[in-house]
Structure 1
Amino acid sequence: MSLIKEFKEFAMRGNVVDLAVAVVIGGAFGRIVTSFVNDIIMPPIGIALGGVDFKDLGYVLRDAYISEGGEEMAPVTLSYGNFIQNVVDFVIIAFVIFMVIQGINRLKKKKEEAPAAPAAPPKSEVLLEEIRDLLKK
């Protein structure tokens, strides 16, 4: 019974919940960036390179053939166009994450640099200073 209680405490701890939320949002963000690259970035690049669709770029290592058993075997290809597209995805995701972290760090730095308001001295210290000033007079 205590094992279940310990697991609940672990799962409800702030860091675990934050990590779960980050993973879900990260997955959704990855799909958005992939769509951005596939649907917005790569088509103009393909047009600029003469109407090339990067998904179709590849080098055929072995053509399709029919096996001895009569089964059609798919061609073996190196899909370097798909690899290029994934590299572009990665670079964009890494850059956006870098920019977000830079923004967060700047906000933290501004908070740290903000001068703290001087703390008011305790009443007893103020009273002692007044007594001292009176004695000087």
Structure 2
Amino acid sequence: MVVDTKKAAEKGKGFANEFREFIMRGNVMDLAVGVIIGGAFQSIISSLVDDIIMPIISLITGGIDFSNWFITLDGSSYPTLAQAQEAGAATLNYGVFITAIINFLLMALVIFFIVKSLNKLSDKMKKEQEEAAPTTKICPHCKSEINIEATKCPCCTSDLK
């Protein structure tokens, strides 16, 4: 089997060029920025849930602490999740899961409101652009102002393209 090194080098160079073009596309860079900002935003949402919403829910529910809702798989009983984990017990931490669901729902709600606001702003800008679109044009023959949809000039009766 004979390998053409020139073709192999061109193929490798083509792949590298394709990859560089892919990475430098605006969409990929926008996605990368979005992921980074989303990660930072997630810490804000987690703090909102853990430090503000969960204490309020705990107050409303009479002091229930979701983070200590767990089941030990070995049948032992521990007062807190931290003590169970310290003892090395295997646990199902469904309270932590409930908190994660609340985090997700809040993040989805915030993103929904952001997208809704951006769509409303986009629609408003599109409407302004449509309103700013010209409604008249100048006849190339007699230079009079006519409707933009006219196919014949009402002043000089010239055919328009």
Structure 1-normalised TM-score? 0.77
Distance 1:99 1:126, change over 3 A: farther
Match of 2:113 among 95, 99, 102: 99
Which consecutive unaligned segments of at least 5 residues does structure 1 have?
65-72
Name 2:4's counterpart in structure 1.
none
2:21 aligns to what? Answer: 9
Q: Which residue of 2 aligns with 1:117?
A: 133
TM-score by length of 2: 0.66
Deviation at 1:39, TM superposition (A): 1.1
Alignment partner, residue 68 of structure 2: 56
- 2:104 pairs, out of 78, 83, 90, with 90
SS of 2:64's equivalent? Answer: coil
Distance 1:124 1:48 in 2: 75
Aligned-partner SS, 1:121: strand
- Mind listing any 5+ residue stretches in structure 2 that lack a counterpart? 1-12, 77-86, 145-152
Q: CA RMSD in A?
A: 2.6
Give, in whole Å, the separation in 1 of the partners of 2:19 and 2:135.
43
Considering Cα pairs closer than 8 Å and 6+ residues apart, tell me whether 1 or 2 has the greater RCO.
1
Equivalent residue runs for 1:2-41 within 5 Å: 2-41=14-53
CA contact (8 A) 1:63 1:75 kept: no
SS at match of 2:133: coil
Deviation at 1:15, TM superposition (A): 0.6
